[in-house]
A = this chain, B = another copy of it.
């Protein structure tokens, strides 16, 4: 009756490595009054986890040294002392990187819907935080409207690929992706249906963006920050909206980045640059999920999950997000037996 857990051993500099985390064994937690015991099945691997490992101000406090790595995930209820959860329910919430977790007032989980014909990895991807982020980032923060020219960085990624597909479905004039390498760029166009995809590893991204959208960018959805964001800034149209969703290029940067040089374009073009965290829209998640589930079920939303098997490989899975070694939404399978009916 043990609970394998991955804890933060020391704060990483750059990429996560063997010295960053420890695999520890502790007794399986008890299920107290008002609580349920959840067997963890799958973990959502998100870039934000890397930011929580730094001792820096964020939207949540840093993970403490010795604490289990914070993460969302899903599992199955095996024991329950509350009417809120029934044994057999598949639930989503903050599982953290471990095999067992207690759900209760202190750590609430939501029960995932069954009977939609969607498997757990798909739900974790498109109906999870990743897809919801794409939806509210584009529609609410980006104030997307029909006829907009939309540019998305991290376009082959779980969030970026959904952003572009929603924009296409809702009548964007043109949707341009930015991704790393010819293989990912091809995927963005062929699999996700973007009009075009620019490889940021090639030179002079700013000029190529200008060629791709000579009248400027109306909505730029940024997942990466840094030089790519700066290149987009230099190409914004009047009244452009820049959605800051993430800054993956900065999260494990070893040195102080060069910084953005083109923010005065926000004055020249009356642009708006706004950051958000999907949790801000927590009371409206169902709205996005309805839309996204509809698109998946009618086949207009292509998606892809990158499954890594074994809790012990979660740190490597996190690194994939920064090396670009993943294809689609990265998930760690902790227990294969946990499935959505």
Which residues of A does B touch, CB under 8 Å? 57-59, 225, 229-230, 244-247, 250, 256-261, 263-277, 280
Does B276 lie within 8 Å of A270, measured CB to CB? yes
How far apart are A169's CB and chain B's nearest CB, in angstroms? 26
Give the shortest distance, in Å, between A80 (CB) and chain B (any CB).
Answer: 35
Shortest Cβ gap from A199 to chain B (Å) = 23
Copies of this chain present in the complex amount to 2
Between-chain CB contacts (< 8 Å), 20 pairs = A57-B268, A58-B268, A59-B267, A59-B268, A244-B266, A244-B267, A246-B267, A247-B263, A250-B264, A260-B260, A260-B263, A263-B263, A267-B275, A267-B276, A268-B275, A268-B277, A270-B274, A270-B277, A271-B275, A272-B272
Instruction: Evaluate contact between B270 and A275: CB separation under 8 angstroms.
Output: yes
* CB-defined contacts of A267 to chain B, threshold 8 Å: 59, 244-247, 275-277
Main secondary structure of the interface of A (DSSP, over half): loop
Instruction: State how many angstroms separate the Cβ of A188 from the closest Cβ of chain B.
Output: 23
Whether A273 contacts B264 in the complex (CB less than 8 A), given A259-B258, A259-B259, comes out as no
Given A225-B263, A263-B244, A264-B250, verify A274-B271 contact (CB < 8 Å): yes
B270 near A272: Cβ-Cβ < 8 Å:
no
Bound-state CA distance A76–B59 (Å) is 57
Contact A269 B275 (CB under 8 A): yes
